[in-house]
Amino acid sequence: MVKVIDYKAGNAPSVMHAINRLGYNAVFARHGSELADASYILLPGVGSAGATMESLRELNMIGALEDAVLKRKTFFLGICVGMQILFQHSEEDDADCLGWLKGKVTKFDASKVRVPQMGWNKVIFAESPVNNANEGYFYFVNSFHAKPENRDDLWGTADYNGQFAAAVHRDNIFATQFHVEKSGEAGLAILNGFLKLGEGADSC
């Protein structure tokens, strides 16, 4: 079953709409106990790292996510802030995050680029089981960006006064800094590829 985590700092309805548009069934998860039967988990985000972590704690999600994603190897897709909190620490709110991936999240240099980055940017992808295309244009809204310590975790990069991590992937964990749900056909292709992993999600 596809579960979209719905929390105060999230963008769950837009992600749910995109999933339904592709013809898949999905339900919202608003408490950690609702992740027990998940085959796919999506964590969208449009708020800050600190607010996201606090919301997840309030909903008893953190332990449930670790059990589902790290132990049971449930397929996971983080979006925007949902990608940033996979790392150890974010400068945004000076927040300690999930720490599933080694690295930190830092702010773009406002003296060199407009912050936030807002609009379409080209992403160059490494090979993964989710996408066939090795590049495409996707929609970003972000003031912060992740700096993975392990370059093997990099799935996609983009350029904004220098390369930054636009997507990451390790084992069953996938995440994008860009908004797949706002990136037109290219974003839907990424989402569809994710939902076809393993045996594939149930269609409507």
Average pLDDT over the chain, rounded to an integer:
96
Active site (annotated) includes residue 80:
yes
pLDDT at 166: 98
Return the closest-CA partner of residue 174 out of 162, 191, 189, 150: 191
pLDDT at 46: 81
pLDDT at 132: 84
Angle between helices 184-195 and 12-21 (to 10 degrees): 80
Mean pLDDT, range 121-131, rounded to an integer: 95
Mean pLDDT, range 72-86, rounded to an integer: 98
| pLDDT above 70 (res 9) | no
Residue with tokens 């106990």: 33
Select which of 34, 92, 169, 181 is catalytic.
181
Select which of 34, 80, 97, 169 is catalytic.
80
> Which stretch of 13-22, 99-108, 126-135, 150-159 has the lowest confidence by average pLDDT?
126-135
Position 203 in a domain = no
Distances 19 to 96, 186, 192, 195 between C-alpha atoms, Å = 30, 14, 8, 9
Mean pLDDT, range 147-158, rounded to an integer: 97
CB 103 within 8 A of CB 69: no
pLDDT at 56: 95
- Contact residues for 144 (Cβ-Cβ < 8 A; gap 6+): 49, 84, 90, 91, 92, 105, 106, 107, 108
Mean pLDDT, range 14-28, rounded to an integer: 96
| pLDDT above 80 (res 10) | no
Position 67 in a domain = yes
Q: Which residues pair with 90 in a beta bridge?
A: 95, 105
Mean pLDDT, range 11-30, rounded to an integer: 95
Sign of CA dihedral 165, 170, 172, 173: negative
Domain extent for 128: 2-195
Sheet of 89-90, strand order: 95-96, 89-90, 103-107, 144-148
Query: What CATH number does residue 59 fall under?
Result: 3.40.50.880
Chain mean position to CA 77: 5
Q: Does the pTM of the predicted model rise above 0.85?
A: yes
Active site (annotated) includes residue 181:
yes
Select which of 97, 145, 169, 179 is catalytic.
179
pLDDT at 47: 84
Mean pLDDT, range 178-188, rounded to an integer: 97
Position 204 in a domain = no
Position 64 in a domain = yes
Position 144 in a domain = yes
pLDDT at 45: 84
Residue with tokens 């309805």: 13
| pLDDT above 90 (res 202) | no
CB 182 within 8 A of CB 190: no
Position 36 in a domain = yes
| pLDDT above 80 (res 53) | yes
What is the tally of structural domains in the chain? 1
Residue-wise pLDDT tens digits, 104-116: 999 999 999 999 9
